[in-house]
Amino acid sequence: MAVALEAVDALGVAPVCKALGLPRATFYRQAQPRHGPVHRPSPPRALPPEQRAEVLSVLHEPRFVDAAPAEVYAQLLDEGRYLCSERTMYRVLAENQQVRERRDQLRHPNHPAPQLHATKPNELWSWDITKLHGPSKWTYFYLYVVLDVFSRYVVGWMVAHRESATLAKKLLAATCERQGVAPGQLTIHADRGSSMTSKPVALLMADLGVTKTHSRPYVSNDNPFSEAHFKTMKYQPDFPEVFGCLQDARGHCGDFFGWYNNEHHHGGLGLLTPYDVHHGLAAERLAARRAVLAAAYAAHPERFPRGAPTPKAPPTIVWINDPARRSSSLEAAQ
């Protein structure tokens, strides 16, 4: 600050502030700091303390204790009495910490963000339901999809005429049996749809020894893998705008999930297919790719200025709401 003051004496305030990118108001405020609260003089029209005390005592009368200042003001006028303006009544109440919202207000609980992770297949699943447009307006088919978070493998799916907790229960039970899920092995995550939070599904999870978790209300980012999967499906060039019938929808979904699981090279899996990762073939695929890249490097090393290339490996741990990433994002925001 002393160097800045010397420069100001030599060049002036405006050039120095412009060179430093500093507003002149900030310079003046720092040059003449004020310590403690600013005491402003009372306006000449303000009520003296004894009259303010009288106003407060009137507002405390039993007939006015639950009335708004506007009601008190009007009733006093009808009685031929004037104490002060309505706004002054509010000021007197505020000075005594007696102004607050007395109606019942909706209090939103602070739902903690679910923090889940998987290090192998069949450890964490995500499931959701999406609508498929039917043959006429306002008609839909409902697609249920259960996705393994670690491998992105679709372990179970179903298309039905309606969204139903009973159907969801049957799908989850059949999927767990087909995948050989043992009690205590699996966590299933979903949003807060009616089928996901239903009692039949909750009882099924308890019977199977499966832990269930849910997204925060109105937070789609807490179920990112199911949302991304539906986007991949619906952005395919051959995805129909409408489906003619239930069999049509089931046929299309069967073809799509066969391609998605077995042929689709997933960007989040190091360009491996969900089938490779889910069934433990990732190491074999990476070894074959590594050999191909090594041969390419040996044949034309000049094409690889950064050295021999290596294939990208899939992640060893997959998170829903990674705490490390969330903390770094919060620090950056601050």
For the stretch 140-182, pLDDT in tens is: 999 999 999 999 999 999 999 999 999 999 999 999 999 999 9
**Locate tokens 């900030």: which residue?**
26
Largest distance between two CA atoms of the chain:
104
The answer to whether residues 216 and 78 belong to one domain is: no
Whether 279 is in a domain gets the answer no
State the DSSP code for 266. B
Do 257 and 157 meet the contact criterion of CB atoms below 8 Å apart? yes
Whether 290 is in a domain gets the answer no
Q: Which residues contact 268 (CB under 8 A, 6 or more apart)?
A: 152, 314, 315
Q: Which residues pair with 272 in a beta bridge?
A: 266
The answer to whether residues 153 and 72 belong to one domain is: no
- Tens of each residue's pLDDT in the chain, 334 residues: 555 566 667 778 888 888 888 888 888 877 776 666 667 777 888 889 999 999 999 999 999 988 889 999 999 999 999 999 999 999 999 999 888 766 666 777 788 889 999 999 999 999 999 999 999 999 999 999 999 999 999 999 999 999 999 999 999 999 999 999 999 999 999 999 999 999 999 999 999 999 999 999 888 889 999 999 999 999 999 999 999 999 999 999 999 999 999 999 999 999 999 999 999 999 999 999 999 999 999 999 999 999 999 999 999 999 999 988 766 655 555 5
Amino acid at 203: L
What pTM, to 2 d.p., does this model score?
0.68
The sign of the torsion formed by the CA atoms of 82, 87, 92, 97 equals positive
Whether 231 is in a domain gets the answer yes
How many Å apart are CA 47 and CA 53, to the nearest integer? 10
How many Å apart are CA 43 and CA 66, to the nearest integer? 30
The answer to whether residues 160 and 240 belong to one domain is: yes
Whether 203 is in a domain gets the answer yes
Amino acid at 46: A
Q: Is 152 left (phi over 0), alpha (psi -120 to 50) or beta?
A: left
Report the number of distinct structural domains present in the chain: 3
Domain coverage including residue 54: 49-95
The answer to whether residues 133 and 86 belong to one domain is: no
The answer to whether residues 183 and 137 belong to one domain is: yes
The answer to whether residues 180 and 209 belong to one domain is: yes
The answer to whether residues 27 and 128 belong to one domain is: no
Give the tokens for residue 160: 């039905």
The answer to whether residues 146 and 174 belong to one domain is: yes
Whether 284 is in a domain gets the answer no
